[in-house]
Structure 1
């Protein structure tokens, strides 16, 4: 467990000694968030776009560096933009 930082080691120790307790209604909260995640990542529409081969190669390189398929990266970028969490730097 040497890869854990100090805070992680303290949390693990508290868990192992039984000091940590589940939050009330944790099961319900977990199920609700699971449904949110499933709905958010449900892919039920298809689009086709044209972009430059240079931009496609750039997306593929970034995705490779992140360890994800480039289509997933594009989907993530679009989702963040639509949700207002991706802004252009000026």
Structure 2
């Protein structure tokens, strides 16, 4: 298994989780909202084919691997966030 260097906050979270002391502060309404969004987003009833550069695909595949998900899932998530208006370009106003 790959070892990751954690900062202090991340290590504290991991230690609390390992000691079964980690408790989420997420509200039940937020949890329900996320659950509904996930169910809605997971309904995949259309297939598309796109062409992208091999360089972009390699970057997306590496990013997906870092996130621990298939690259198709990452792409679907990105497209969903863009379509729903929740994907923002943080460099746009710099």
Gapped regions of structure 1 (runs ≥ 5): 12-22, 24-29
1:3 counterpart SS class: helix
Pair member with larger Rg:
1
Deviation at 1:87, TM superposition (A): 1.7
Aligned residues between the structures: 71
1:34 Cα deviation from its structure 2 partner: 5.4
Matched, 1:79 2:91: no
Q: Deviations over 1:22-80 (max 9, x none)?
A: x8xxxxxx6x9756542331110000000000000000000011110000000010111
Provide the C-alpha distance between the structure 1 equivalents of 2:81 and 2:44, rounded to a whole number of angstroms.
15
Q: Normalized against structure 1, the TM-score is what?
A: 0.61
Higher relative contact order (CA 8 A, sep 6+): 2
Task: Could you tell me which runs of 5 or more consecutive residues in structure 2 were left unpaired when the two chains were aligned.
Answer: 1-13
The whole-number CA distance in structure 2 between the counterparts of 1:68 and 1:76 is 11
Q: Say if 1:71 and 1:10 are closer, same or farther in 2 by CA, change over 3 A.
A: closer
